[in-house]
Amino acid sequence: MSARAGRDPVLVLASRVGPDEKCLLTALRRGGHAAEVLDINALHRAASDPAGPGGLVLNREIGQVRARYAATMLEAAGMTVVNSAAAVQTCGDKWLTSLALARAGLPAPRTVLAASPAAAGEAAAELGFPVVLKPLIGSWGRLVTRVRDAEEAATVLEHVAAQPSPQAQVVYLQEYVDKPGHDLRALVVRGEVVAAMRRYADDWRTNVSRGGRTEPCVLDPDTEKLAVRAAEATGADIAGVDLAENRAGAVLVLEVNHRVEFAGLQRAHDGLDIAATIVDRIVGGAS
Amino acid sequence: MTTTCPECFETVTAPAEPVLHEILECAECRGELEVVSTAPLLVALAPEVAEDWGE
């Protein structure tokens, strides 16, 4: 039982309580903490409201926009939100993540942001084919497109240009990493890798949500250090860091996810209670 | 605790302590359902995936 036992309930911010959120609620209660779901649909706050006495919130909101704004509201109310609004903003936007990784000097695929589909065509040619186009916001490999040549790029970018959303006109392009059939997911909690797995898939996108197969793994010390530094670069206390080895043998950071889905990682690690580990490291250490 | 799937009208069994907004799966039609009331237990079809949903 941690030092927090008996204090205010730990709030789990969510509009959708899935298996991961249920595991966290169970782990909190087993750890002797009061725990409640904070329904984001009921949340509102005046800008001039004074800060309250504080408290701890685990930010598990599935919608990126609401996760970020809700975190700002709760932080203004004096609460500690994990992950913070700043971390949610950085991790939830692939370009901001790329900038954070670059500032920290961490290895990542070459990445370009183009301010229009026309500029994206030039950027794609400069990066070299194949090249990967990703939505700035989004997960699970959705709308991530591998473009093999200039002709495909022209076609895809024509579709991009036809999108009504202003954000869709800003194009995130990344060097294609020819992975050796798998990539890595490391769960970093407060500066330590608590579990890692290899993800395999027939699809070039290895996301578990796309049916990727997983197996547990132990990272070598350099890769472990890289995962921890990537989480730190984005300010995320809880981070799902995706890494991949390229054909030259260098390990690159692909993404840092702020609302980690850990069902796949849990399946790969029978002997480890991942939710309890997160609770121990976050709630046990909360001030 | 049970309720009825709004999609296929089969019986859906909830866990012992269902939580508001908890996601359940109908064993019959595999539809994703959201708990919209815990007492009495009521479920609705869960919202579709939104553009900004993710990890």
For residues A208 and A264, membership in a common domain is answered with yes
**Pair A205, A144: CB distance under 8 Å:** yes
CA dist A60 and A126 (Å) reads: 38
What CATH number does the domain containing A246 carry?
3.30.470.20
For residue B15, count other CB atoms closer than 10 A to its CB.
Answer: 11
Q: Which domain holds residue A156?
A: 110-175
Q: How confident is the model at residue A183 (pLDDT cuts 50, 70, 90)?
A: very high
**pLDDT in the model for residue A8:** 81
How distant is the Cα of A53 from the closest Cα of chain B, in angstroms?
26
Amino acid at A286: A
Q: A238 CB near a chain B CB, below 8 Å? A: no
**Polymer length of chain A:** 287
**pLDDT in the model for residue A84:** 98
Edge to edge, the sheet with strand A35-39 lists A35-39, A10-14, A56-59, A80-82
Q: A16 CB near a chain B CB, below 8 Å? A: yes
Q: Sketch out chain B's domains with CATH numbers.
A: 2-45 (2.20.28.160)
Q: B53 CB near a chain A CB, below 8 Å? A: yes
β-bridge pairing A145-147 and A80-82: unpaired
Whether A186 is in a domain gets the answer yes
Candidate from B35, B47, B52 with C-beta closest to A64: B52
Residue of chain B with shortest Cα separation from A68: B52
Residues above pLDDT 70, as percent of chain A: 94
Edge to edge, the sheet with strand A145-147 lists A111-114, A171-175, A131-134, A145-147
Number of alpha helices (DSSP H) and beta strands (DSSP E) in chain A:
9, 13
Check pLDDT > 90 for residue A140. no
What CATH number does the domain containing A126 carry?
3.30.1490.20
**Pair A131, A173: CB distance under 8 Å:** yes
Say how many domains are in chain A: 2
Residue of chain B with shortest Cα separation from A38: B20
Residue bearing tokens 């782990």:
A27
Check pLDDT > 90 for residue A206. no
Candidate from B15, B23, B52 with C-beta closest to A63: B52
**pLDDT in the model for residue A213:** 84
Q: A143 CB near a chain B CB, below 8 Å? A: no
ipTM of the modeled complex? 0.93
C-alpha atoms less than 13 angstroms from C-alpha of B14 in its C-beta half-sphere: 25
CA dist A245 and A205 (Å) reads: 14
Whether A13 is in a domain gets the answer no
How wide is the angle at C-alpha A68 spanned by C-alphas A241 and A266, nearest 5°?
A: 35
For residues A182 and A265, membership in a common domain is answered with yes
